[in-house]
Amino acid sequence: MIHGPLHGSLLWLIAFLPVFGALINGATGRRARNTKLVDALALGSVGIAFALSLFYFIVLMRQPSEGRVIIQELWTWVDFGGAHVLDGLTHNTVSWAYRFDPLSGAMALLVTGVGFLIHLFSTGYMAEEREDGRYYRFMAYLNLFVFSMLNLVLGANLLMMFLGWEGVGLCSYLLIGFYFEKDFAATAGKKAFITNRIGDFGFLVGFFLLFQIYGSADFSTLMGMTREVLARPEITLFGLSHAPTWWFNLAGCCLFVGACGKSAQIPLYVWLPDAMAGPTPVSALIHAATMVTSGLYMIARLNFVYVNAPVALSVVLFVGALTALVAASMGLAQYDIKKVLAYSTVSQLGFMFMGMGAGAFTAGMFHVFTHAFFKAALFLGSGSVILACHHEQDMRNLGGLKDKLPWTFRSMLVATLAIAGIFPFSGFFSKDEILWKVFDGWYRHGELGGSQLALLAWIMGMVAAFMTAFYMTRLMIMTFWGEYRGHGHDPHGLRALALPDEHGHHESHHHEPHEVPWNMWVPVAILGGLALVAGFLNIPHSLHWIGSSRFSEWLSPLLFQVGAPEAHEAVPAMEYVLMVWATLVWAPGAMLLAWWIYGMDPSWSKARAFVARFPNLFRWVHNKYFVDEFYEASVIQPTLRVGEGLWVVDGKVVDGAVNGAAWLSLFWGRVSFWFDSKIVDGLVNLIAWLIEQLSWAFRRLQSGRVHQYAFVMFLGFLVFALWKFLV
Amino acid sequence: MMHELFATPMGALFTIFGVMSLIGALAMVFSKNAVHSVIGFLFTMLSIAACYLCMEAEFLAMAQVLVYAGGIVVLFLFVVMLVELSKRKDGRANDRGAMAVVLPLVALLAAAFGAVFGGICFARGADQALNLPPDLAQGMDVAGHNAQAISRGLFAGYLLPFEILSVILLVALVGAVVLAKTERV
Amino acid sequence: MPSPNFALVLSFLLFSIGILGVLIRRNALIILMCVELMLNAANLNLIAFARHSGTVGGQAFALLVMGLAAAEVAIGLALVVALYRRKETVRVDEIDLLKG
């Protein structure tokens, strides 16, 4: 643990500046007459955070590669006072600390940088909200999200990561349901949160396992202790005794369940398409660039667990590949521009998990970065399109926009080429590296004999890559080529009925779409530019004459090394073959196919004929294989039934018990009353009666007759006299 | 005992007069007619005066005759005449129920007295002289000069009781007048 | 000095007859007369002892008692008369106004 030589004490500001912005905006923003103030605060906080991250990044770059860690401990957060772990009691405490090392530093740059661009975009996109008085809320939530995400990536221990994990889930809910008066937005927010929650359960179980095994949550400790843990022959926890690898597999799978929830893999991806109900900047920031990459960051951070957990890695690989394929197929039949991009995100996340599952952590992380750039560019660009066409999201009602929105068009075109994997755009370098590593899991540099699963995954990945290029081209053609169909000028009858859209209805008959203001197309252009050039940060070894794999080298000290690092100088020919095939044949082929179907014939007759021939197939794919309906019927309805059953139990049993207790009290009251009136009062009356009877006896003494008195006197005298004289 | 009763002439007379007083008392108590009771009462008073004479207390005998037989009996007669003549005789004179209870009691009293004092009064040596403190009339012959002795004792020794008695008589006088007053006056 | 025995016995008998009369008779006047009888019995007792002791104190006392008896009779008879005027009766068992 090395503290930075200079200004290590400002590390906390990177995370806390956005939250200060959120608090101030949230508390005072409603009253601010001038929403420019809100802008300045929100943009300023994220901007300064980006500057600080850049500063620390530069500081880090100057250090030697083993010493690239800056840690700042702020305070002791949790002190268990002695928790039972594997070796007995541990007195480790969990502190609120930030850790700036190559991985977290790069992620911090990504989060703050892309976050800043998206904040800038939002100042234009959310312009209508300025009058509605909800603007400040949006900015506050965005800042809060950046704070949570920075906690996640900069956290120095698992608990800090989990804090950020939960925080981004919360902010996702808040932002998806931003237009909370719309039912489906609120429902989508709830769906996102609940699905995330299910994943978080897995994350927690994995966290607890790791804490039990290591006795600490701190990453430095975890990384340092791993070799020693692996050296044990057996680990006994909860009465079960297994090899360390078994426990790592278990922890890895549990943590991957959390990643499935957060990063939208099968089976917990269902929230991401619905999350498009939120404003487009939200979709760009959270569901393309940052939040959904949390799962990948977690796997990269805990690579020392996954490298020693082959079963977990296989699970990750398979689920990632399956997700990539299935989501890409869903994207083929969607008409909402944002839904296509959503499924594209799910599919690309599947790619990233494929990379992780194949053991190529740096490749997966690199794809995170490049995907952030081009996906954010695509989302923001689509946001520009939507705004320019007055909140029209159905692609069938768009078209011919490439001359009307030139800058947006160009940026999105670059991003599409990147995502398709055309050389030399960034997507080529990252995605093809992943696919090569997966293939090599089976190919083994020509030796063959690797796992069959890797081959299957590679095949699924290739098919998904083909589909990706196809639907992205389809999107671009539908949106930007042809004639604009928004005026009602629809010669081929391609328009769709206007669905009740989520943002009010502006009359779209009179306005011609035009380019959006500078604070909206500039961020898209910047991101498009980054999507163009970012690939050169990580040239694979096979193309080493172009450049070096700087990104991989940057991250490699953090990776757990199993055995001696491979020093293959000989690059197998297969790698070049596949690379050329992918970028010159496979992806362009898909794009040409899309062009042939949609671009050449403005009436899309071939597409329509296909749909007419296979109506059921289209129905299944267009309705996303009815997965949501399946979940609804199998999971949600039974849960609701159980809830209703418990409601009945509460009404009958609990309320019955309460009413019974009330009845019992009343009954007891009546018994007491009876007791009091009959027995207690009876006792009192008895005494009175006794005295009355006695008094009757004494009354007779008072007869009023003198001679009786005299007689009594005489008796008294007699007694007295006799007693005196005889006793 | 009979022998002793009639031992001396004075004693004999005392016994005779004593019996007479007893007869009178019984007549008074058990007579149905109120006037007969008053007559019995008078007889008793006179007999007791005679007893006093037999006991050599002449002054007191005279006083007894004057006060009781002369004043009190007359008073009683007046009131009896006033009350009884306007009333018819109904019911019993005596209360039979009370008699059944009281007679045994009185008999018991008599028996008790007899038991207690019989041995004392009628034993040998009971005739010893009482040693009482000497009073102012000491030296005088009480039996011989009875009036002088009583006057010496009463006005010298017991003056205060005498004066108080006079006050009591005054009070009784006033009280009787007040109590017997009629409303119409 | 002659023994006072006979006088004491006589006085006791007279006294007990007086008590008997008080308790038995219903006529108020007869009761008053019996009370006088009791006083006389007491007088007899006093004089007997005065004679037996040779002092004059007993006789003086008996004189005082006699005077007192006279006063008492006056009051008692006045009471009976007043009562007769109110209640038209001198029978004591008919006067129970203080019956409780």
Interchain pair B105, A714: CB under 8 A: yes
Per-residue DSSP letter, A95: E
Average pLDDT, integer, range C13-39? 91
Q: Specify whether A350 is located in the same domain as A480.
A: yes
- Residues of chain A with C-beta less than 8 angstroms from the C-beta of B105: 714-715, 718
Write phi, then psi, for A546 (nearest 5 degrees).
-80, -45
Q: Which residues of chain B have pLDDT under 50?
A: none
Quote the Cα angle for A721-A726-B2, to 5°. Answer: 85
Interchain pair B121, C77: CB under 8 A: no
Average pLDDT, integer, range A408-426? 88
Q: Specify whether A582 is located in the same domain as A668.
A: no
With respect to residue B45, please indicate whether it lies within any of the assigned structural domains. yes
With respect to residue A474, please indicate whether it lies within any of the assigned structural domains. yes
A693 touches chain C (CB under 8 A): no
pTM tops 0.90: no
pLDDT of res. B132: 61
DSSP track, B105-163: HHHHHHHHHHHHHHHHHTSTTTTPPP-PPP-TTTTS-TTTTHHHHHHHIIIIISHHHHH
Q: Specify whether A591 is located in the same domain as A669.
A: no
B93 touches chain C (CB under 8 A): yes
With respect to residue A448, please indicate whether it lies within any of the assigned structural domains. yes
With respect to residue A93, please indicate whether it lies within any of the assigned structural domains. no
Residues 289-318 of A with CB under 8 A from C: none
Q: Specify whether B106 is located in the same domain as B78.
A: no
Q: Specify whether A593 is located in the same domain as A636.
A: no
Q: Specify whether B172 is located in the same domain as B155.
A: yes
The region that residue A488 occupies, defined by phi over 0 for left and psi between -120 and 50 for alpha, beta otherwise, is left
Q: Specify whether B148 is located in the same domain as B71.
A: no
Question: What type of residue is A37?
Answer: L
A neighbours by CB contacts (3+ pairs under 8 Å):
B, C
Interchain pair B52, C56: CB under 8 A: no
- Residues of chain B with C-beta less than 8 angstroms from the C-beta of A722: 112
With respect to residue B44, please indicate whether it lies within any of the assigned structural domains. yes
Q: Specify whether B74 is located in the same domain as B120.
A: no
Per-residue model confidence as pLDDT tens digits over A574-583: 777 888 887 8
Is the Cβ–Cβ distance between A369 and A106 less than 8 Å?
yes
Q: Which residue has the higher pLDDT, A387 or A561?
A: A387
Q: Specify whether B27 is located in the same domain as B59.
A: yes
B98 touches chain A (CB under 8 A): yes
With respect to residue A456, please indicate whether it lies within any of the assigned structural domains. yes
Q: Nearest by CB to B48, from C23, C44, C60: name it.
A: C44
Helix or strand or coil: residue A379? helix
Q: Specify whether A639 is located in the same domain as A543.
A: no
Interchain pair C24, B64: CB under 8 A: no
Average pLDDT, integer, range A630-640? 84
Q: Which residue has the higher pLDDT, B46 or A282?
A: B46
Q: Specify whether B81 is located in the same domain as B108.
A: no
pLDDT of res. C63: 93
Per-residue model confidence as pLDDT tens digits over A122-155: 888 887 666 667 788 888 899 999 999 999 999 9
With respect to residue B183, please indicate whether it lies within any of the assigned structural domains. yes
Interchain pair C100, A702: CB under 8 A: yes
With respect to residue B91, please indicate whether it lies within any of the assigned structural domains. no
Q: Specify whether B111 is located in the same domain as B176.
A: no
Interchain pair C97, A706: CB under 8 A: no
Helix or strand or coil: residue A90? strand
Q: How many CA atoms lie within 13 A of A161 on its CB side?
A: 28
With respect to residue B92, please indicate whether it lies within any of the assigned structural domains. no
- Residues of chain B with C-beta less than 8 angstroms from the C-beta of A725: 112, 116
With respect to residue A399, please indicate whether it lies within any of the assigned structural domains. yes
Q: Specify whether B11 is located in the same domain as B54.
A: yes
Q: Specify whether A542 is located in the same domain as A690.
A: no
Contacts of A151 (CB under 8 A, 6+ apart): A15, A160, A161, A163, A164, A167
Domain range enclosing A645? 628-694
Interchain pair B76, C32: CB under 8 A: yes
Write phi, then psi, for A375 (nearest 5 degrees).
-70, -40
Per-residue model confidence as pLDDT tens digits over A671-724: 989 888 888 888 888 999 999 998 888 887 777 777 778 888 888 888 888 788
Q: Specify whether A383 is located in the same domain as A425.
A: yes
- Residues of chain B with C-beta less than 8 angstroms from the C-beta of A707: 95, 98
> By C-alpha distance, which of A242, A195, A216 is closest to A83?
A216
Distance from CA of C100 to the nearest CA of A (A): 5
Domain range enclosing B24? 1-86
Number of folded domains that form chain B: 3
Per-residue model confidence as pLDDT tens digits over A443-456: 776 677 677 888 88
With respect to residue B53, please indicate whether it lies within any of the assigned structural domains. yes
Q: Specify whether B101 is located in the same domain as B143.
A: no
With respect to residue B55, please indicate whether it lies within any of the assigned structural domains. yes
Is the Cβ–Cβ distance between A384 and A524 less than 8 Å?
yes
Is the Cβ–Cβ distance between A441 and A564 less than 8 Å?
no
Number of folded domains that form chain A: 2
Q: Which residue has the higher pLDDT, B125 or A10?
A: A10
Distance from CA of A704 to the nearest CA of B (A): 16
- Residues of chain B with C-beta less than 8 angstroms from the C-beta of C44: 48, 51-52
Q: Nearest by CB to C33, from B48, B76, B149: name it.
A: B76
Q: Specify whether A594 is located in the same domain as A660.
A: no
Q: Specify whether A541 is located in the same domain as A422.
A: yes
Distance from CA of A699 to the nearest CA of B (A): 19
- Residues of chain C with C-beta less than 8 angstroms from the C-beta of A702: 98-100
Which one of A699, A707, A709 makes the best mutation probe of the C interface by having the most chain C beta carbons within 10 Å? Answer: A707
Lowest-pLDDT choice from A164-168, A226-230, A351-355, A572-576: A572-576
> By C-alpha distance, which of A15, A161, A156 is closest to A97?
A156
Interchain pair B109, A707: CB under 8 A: no
CATH label of the domain that carries residue B14: 1.20.120.1200
Is the Cβ–Cβ distance between C16 and B107 less than 8 Å?
no
Coarse DSSP helix, strand, coil percentages of chain C, rounded to the nearest 5 percent: 80, 5, 15
Q: Specify whether B148 is located in the same domain as B184.
A: yes
Q: Specify whether B138 is located in the same domain as B123.
A: no
> Is residue A85 packed enough to be buried (19+ CB in 10 Å), middle (13-18) or exposed (0-12)?
middle
Domains of chain C: 4-94 (1.10.287.3510)
Q: Specify whether B30 is located in the same domain as B73.
A: yes
Q: Specify whether A665 is located in the same domain as A576.
A: no
Q: Specify whether A647 is located in the same domain as A543.
A: no
